[in-house]
């Protein structure tokens, strides 16, 4: 049986791994599947994602690496502004957000089912 000090270290590492996966799933909200994104993935090996407002390029790079097991070379981030809409006789606004274009190294690929 291992000493108690080694058991504690193992538990801490497991907790960190779980918390990193939770952070990754909160950073990348969903893939942004559009015609432009599809064309970009074929030409430039780049993929578009909706990301949280607090996401940074470094967090996005780590999240893509953990979830999809690929290496990101470059990340471009753009704000998505809120838009006024008129639905069923009522005025409203769509929510604002952020999107990121993730460029992968040659040979890496992400499959969206």
Residue 8 placed within a domain: no
pTM here is 0.75
Burial class from Cβ neighbours inside 10 Å (0-12, 13-18, 19+) for residue 29 reads middle
* pLDDT score of 18 more than 90: no
pLDDT tens figures, 45-72: 999 999 999 999 999 999 999 999 999 9
Identify the domain containing residue 48 by its residue range: 30-113
Residue 15 placed within a domain: no
Task: Label residue 15 by pLDDT band (50, 70, 90).
Answer: low
Residue 2 placed within a domain: no
Residue 37 placed within a domain: yes
Number of domains present in the structure of the chain: 1
Strands (E), 14-89: 28-31, 46-51, 72-80, 84-87
- CATH number, residue 74: 3.30.70.330
Residue 55 placed within a domain: yes
Provide the pairing of β-strand 84-87 with 28-31: unpaired
């Amino acid at each position: 049986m291992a000493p108690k000090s080694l058991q504690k270290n193992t538990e801490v590492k497991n907790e960190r791994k779980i918390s990193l996966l939770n952070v990754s799933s909160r950073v990348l909200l969903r893939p942004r599947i559009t015609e432009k994104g599809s064309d970009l993935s074929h030409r430039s090996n780049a993929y578009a994602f909706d990301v949280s407002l607090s996401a940074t390029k470094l967090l996005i790079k780590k999240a893509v690496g953990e979830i999809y097991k690929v290496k990101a070379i470059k990340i471009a981030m753009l704000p998505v502004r809120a838009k006024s809409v008129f639905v069923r006789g009522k005025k409203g606004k769509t929510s604002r957000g952020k999107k990121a274009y993730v460029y992968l190294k040659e040979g890496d690929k992400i499959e969206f089912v």
